[in-house]
A and B are shown apart, each in its own frame.
Chain A
Amino acid sequence: MERPQREPLVLCVDDAHLLDPASAMLVHQVIADGSAVGFLTVRSGEPAPDAVTALWKDDGCAFLELQPLSREETSSLLESELRGPLEGRTEHALWQASRGVPLVLGELVLDGLDRGVLVEELGLWCWHGELAIGRRLRELVAARIGDLDHLACEALELVALGEPLSSSWLSDPETVDSLVRRGVLEAERNGRRLELRFAHPLQGEVVRSEMPATRAARLQRELADALDATGARRSGDVLRLATWRLEGGGEVSSELLVLAARRAQLSFAPELAERLARAAVELGGGLDASYVLARARAGQGDFEEAESMLGTLEGKAGSDAERAMIAETRARWLAGPLGRGSDAATTIARARAAVEDRSSQAKLALAEGWIRFRLGGPSQALAAVAPTVEDAAVETSVRTSAAAFCVLMLAQTGRPLEALALANRWLPGSDLPNGNPSALTEAAFARGVALMMAGQLELAEATAFELYETAVESDDDELLGRAAWLYGVTSLNGGRVDGSLRLLRESVTVLRELDPRGMLPWALAMVAQAAAQAGNADEASSAVKAAQAVAPSGSWIHTASIEMGRAWASAAEGALSQAQRSALVAGEICLERGQLAAAVIDFHDLCRLGGSELAAPRLAKLAREVEGDWVQACADHAAALVARDAVSLEDVARAFEEVGTFLFAAEALSEAAMTFRNKGRMSSARSCAARAQALLTRCAGASTPALKGMEEFDELTPREREIATLAARGLSNKAIAARLVISVRTVENQLQRTYRKLGITSRDELLTVLGL
């Protein structure tokens, strides 16, 4: 074998555990005597020839045990391979299914692309439907499980149907031990039970898919009988027992099926909830069963049918609690996704006239609050619900829901500090009555909005992020649409335009499938805003049209937000006069309806779009009525622009920067730079421009009208910025030169050029100007 001199030989051997002894010996010799650098792979858990294992045991070769990827690494790999970001729940589902094993991940993605269920929509990769595994992956997983005897097969089948499964339900402990040792099953203690589950989720999927339906039914009946015998005491047992009875047969009561259907609903499994509820109805489950069935249909987005089912039930209600339950649910659907606010109001009024007990009245008042918000405004909504919070005769869970609603409405009316005080009193984090996930998320959502309106952006964003992660990990699509919206809006306020746009697109994708609160027009309007602020006029314009197409007619809330989307879309097209007109209309609608917080945002946007003369008096008035320092900064911004006061604009920028609205701060500095330039104060202008540039590094993707003036000011080159940063951090010219391997003269020249661009005279000013 000939090879060039002095180039090492690299010997690569894949699946070295399969080498015959003679070949293994040869490989060992070649590597051990330094003739070649070896690169070998062996499969974990498989025996390898002694000559191969000696390489790392005796000869000091590095041994690398490959590990699965983390969730973040999986996400990065997916984005890189698909050349685009993924929707949150798709990313989570792929990570859960693959557990970070690249081979599995790759097969899942290829199968999804082949079958057309993994598709790109609005710039995000989304998986449609259940995550099913293809034939090739099925074979790979089956091969990994290996050959099984009859006892092992049966054990795996039971675990596949019932995991996590108590080990005491499996008859042969030695078989179980063997499966755990082989890494097919994992055992974990849960209280007094030792529970078994598959080491990798796809293994269970494969075993289930290989089972004939008749065998699966028989085994599930056995599992149900075994669980029945234990008394089904744990909270998760009800759903398991009912599901096994549904699949396997045997005696079951309609009450158990209804209870299980409710649990399935709370676990965000509406299809299962529907099946359980239908079975309950067939067994004569009565009003309860029919109500849960309607909720399950709504949980799958079929609000028309669900509302009609409740309409039929209304006359069958036998108690105040049942009347209130049906009317409240029906009214929410009418007012929300069905866009029939007047019908919703009529439904509630009819129910309130028929109901006497205080708790039922309170629940109806809460529904009425939502309707009043949509038809009137937040003040009317607050008036309807606020008395419930303090009514000691009403059960705590209802008062807490009322408190969460009031927090949202107070924030909307420009009283975010009062909202947060109420939230701290009634919604203290995760410690909510019954730990009801829906109540927890309502509270978190309300708190997030109040924090945003109070200008506590960092906390608002942290709250929104946690809500978003909760939604992604719990398969709660109903929450995910709202959480992605809130996270996207807080990100946009923080100036992270690219990230915001991605989240808001995700919100739209989810809400298009399930939108129980009629939020889709808002989400589309926000996509328009974010896309425009990223300089994408086409997407902004399309989003506005889409929002108009789905918004219910006559809805003031949606009209205002769509108008604001239109304002930004016009700005992205360069039509600033039109943009200002739309922003003014949006602000006036919100003002008229008492949604003062949104009015502040709209008028401030008017200011950002060049309409400061119109915005200033309105913002000045609002600053006297709305709580929080942030609104004062918005008013000061408008006033400073009208007065062409560059020094005041710098002050405004500092105020915006302090609350974390970096894009507003950058825009104010950009405007200050232009104002200084127009007055001939070039060094001040350059200094402001440099500070704006530094802030814009935190605003990925931003391209707004107020930043257009920045184009005139030379940016520092990467080398200039590097040298300036080192100088600002205290290094001498000599030290900088040594570090960058350049001459001291070059450092001096670069710094002089930098001082000229920034309008400063010494390195002492660099730290401030560069925003370090």
Chain B
Amino acid sequence: MNRERAIDQLPETHAAAIRLRGRGFDDPAIAARLSVPPEAVPELLRIADEKLAALVADNSDAKGTKR
């Protein structure tokens, strides 16, 4: 699965966090945009990266062929 499609499949906040980081926003700015405490951003990004890596590596079929 390609990276962009995988990001689309992440939970909304995790997807937004990855995209904001990609656009150069720092942690406080990401926190402000996502309405989360600034202290939450490092763990949020860490979990988002792990979920993304799992999705990109995932080649299994759901339903017929893909979701």
Contact = CB atoms under 8 A, between A and B. Distances in A.
A502 B63 CA distance: 7
Interface string A31-65: 00000000000000000000000001100001111
A64 B40 contact: yes
Contacts of A487: 63-64
A582 interface: no
Contacts of B40: 63-65
B39 A57 contact: yes
12 contacts: A63-B43, A65-B40, A67-B12, A67-B14, A72-B62, A75-B62, A465-B65, A487-B64, A491-B64, A494-B65, A498-B61, A503-B63
Contacts of B39: 56-57, 63
A488 B64 contact: yes
Tell me which of B10, B40, B64 has the highest count of chain A C-beta atoms within 10 A of its own C-beta. B64
B23 interface: no
A500 B62 CA distance: 10
B65 to A, nearest CB: 6
Contacts of B44: 64-65, 67
Given A68-B11, A461-B65, 9 more contacts: A65-B43, A68-B12, A69-B11, A72-B62, A491-B63, A494-B64, A499-B65, A500-B64, A503-B64
Contacts of A65: 36-37, 40, 43-44
Contacts of A498: 61
B60 to A, nearest CB: 9
Interface in A85-102: 85, 88, 100
A126 to B, nearest CB: 15
A70 interface: yes
B19 to A, nearest CB: 14
Contact of B65 (A64, A68, A85, A496): A496
Given A63-B43, A64-B40, A491 B9 contact: no
Interface in B13-54: 13-14, 36-37, 39-40, 42-44, 47
A62 B63 contact: no
Q: Which 9 A-B pairs have the closest CB atoms?
A: A491-B64, A65-B40, A63-B39, A499-B64, A70-B11, A67-B13, A64-B43, A56-B39, A65-B36
Contacts of B65: 461, 465, 491, 494, 496, 499
Contacts of A56: 39
Contact of B11 (A100, A491, A494): A100
A101 B19 CA distance: 22
A75 to B, nearest CB: 8
A85 B63 CA distance: 9
B22 to A, nearest CB: 18
A72 to B, nearest CB: 5
Contacts of A502: 63-64
A695 to B, nearest CB: 14
Nearest to A88: B63
A329 interface: no
Contacts of A64: 40, 43-44, 47
A211 interface: no
A62 B43 CA distance: 7
A499 B42 CA distance: 38
Chain A contact residues, majority secondary structure: helix
Contacts of B61: 496, 498-499, 700
A206 to B, nearest CB: 23
Contacts of A500: 64
Interface of A: 56-57, 62-65, 67-73, 75, 85, 88, 100, 461, 464-465, 487-488, 490-491, 494, 496, 498-500, 502-503, 700
Contacts of A496: 61, 64-65
A72 B63 contact: no
Contacts of B63: 85, 88, 487, 491, 499, 502-503
Tell me which of B9, B36, B62 has the highest count of chain A C-beta atoms within 10 A of its own C-beta. B62
Contact of B64 (A57, A67, A461): A461
A67 B34 CA distance: 11
A65 B66 CA distance: 30
Contacts of A69: 11
A237 B63 CA distance: 37
A44 to B, nearest CB: 9
A619 B66 CA distance: 32
Contacts of B37: 63, 65
A70 B10 contact: yes
Nearest to B44: A65
Contacts of A73: 11
A499 B62 CA distance: 7
Contacts of B64: 461, 464-465, 487-488, 490-491, 494, 496, 499-500, 502-503
Contacts of B14: 67, 70
A136 to B, nearest CB: 25
B54 to A, nearest CB: 10
Contacts of A68: 11-13
A496 B37 CA distance: 45
Nearest to A73: B11
A401 B63 CA distance: 30
Contacts of B43: 62-65
Contacts of A494: 64-65
A487 B66 CA distance: 11
Contacts of A62: 42-43
A72 B67 CA distance: 8
Nearest to B13: A67
A75 B62 CA distance: 10
A660 to B, nearest CB: 10
B18 to A, nearest CB: 13
A57 B38 CA distance: 9
Contacts of B67: 72, 75
A488 B64 CA distance: 6
